[in-house]
A = this chain, B = another copy of it.
Amino acid sequence: MERRRQARGERRMAEILDAAADAFAELGYEKASTNAIAARAGISPGSLYQFFPSKEAVARALADRFVADMTTAHASAFGGADVAEMDLGELLDRVVDPLVAFNLANPGFKALFARPDMPSALAESSQPIQAAMLGQVEAILGARTPGLAPADRARSARVLVRIFQAMTPLVTAAAEEERPAEIAELKRVLGGYLTSLSG
């Protein structure tokens, strides 16, 4: 049931997603009420529901936008590079640095992504993000550790994504002068695990 949107409406939808990202970042998913999101967007609660049928739909649309932005960032970090032959340190830099930058630039991202215990409604909303991350990591693993059985590769991808999810808050929450050290720790954990997979 698509409805015809005016240009004004499309702009409003983007503003609502901006407001939702803000609210999710500051209050968390549950405490960010739809009325609060509408207020931040400068509109009434009723207007929000002209564009999104439910709070979950807002989260899903925001997650889709995150995935799109993240995918282009990931592609630009790997334009034509050979993942299989790359030095481990360089690989980690190319993967981790843009993702950390993305998390710093989009504070609302982690509210939809870095949550081990998602409510079922939110889990469905953030599934595209999870799937996108897992797919990219599995592709890298396939290129670098061809000997790994598919089941093991899938498990290792889940482990790597999980580690990144868990440690990102440590990085973003750290004071700016502590951040490089925390990023180094994150790379050390990921690198140590990857090394133990190959050796």
Contact surface of A with B, Cβ cutoff 8 Å: 28, 30-31, 110-111, 114-117, 119, 155-156, 158-159, 162-163, 165-167, 169-170, 181-182, 185, 188-189, 191-193, 195-196
Return chain B residues, CB-CB under 8 Å to A162: 166-167, 170
- A107 to chain B minimum Cβ distance, whole angstroms, is 12
Return chain B residues, CB-CB under 8 Å to A155: 181-182, 185
Q: Is the CB of B170 within 8 A of A117?
A: no
Return chain B residues, CB-CB under 8 Å to A114: 116-117
Return chain B residues, CB-CB under 8 Å to A170: 158-159, 162
Return chain B residues, CB-CB under 8 Å to A182: 155
* Distance A163 CA – B169 CA, assembled complex (angstroms): 12
Q: Is the CB of A28 within 8 A of B192?
A: no
* Distance A128 CA – B150 CA, assembled complex (angstroms): 41
A156, A193, A195 — most chain B CB neighbours (10 Å): A193
- A179 to chain B minimum Cβ distance, whole angstroms, is 12
- A113 to chain B minimum Cβ distance, whole angstroms, is 11
- A109 to chain B minimum Cβ distance, whole angstroms, is 12
Given A110-B117, A188-B193, A192-B192, 20 extra CB contacts under 8 A: A28-B119, A30-B30, A114-B116, A115-B116, A116-B116, A116-B166, A116-B169, A156-B185, A158-B170, A162-B166, A162-B170, A163-B166, A163-B167, A165-B166, A166-B167, A188-B196, A189-B192, A189-B193, A192-B196, A193-B193
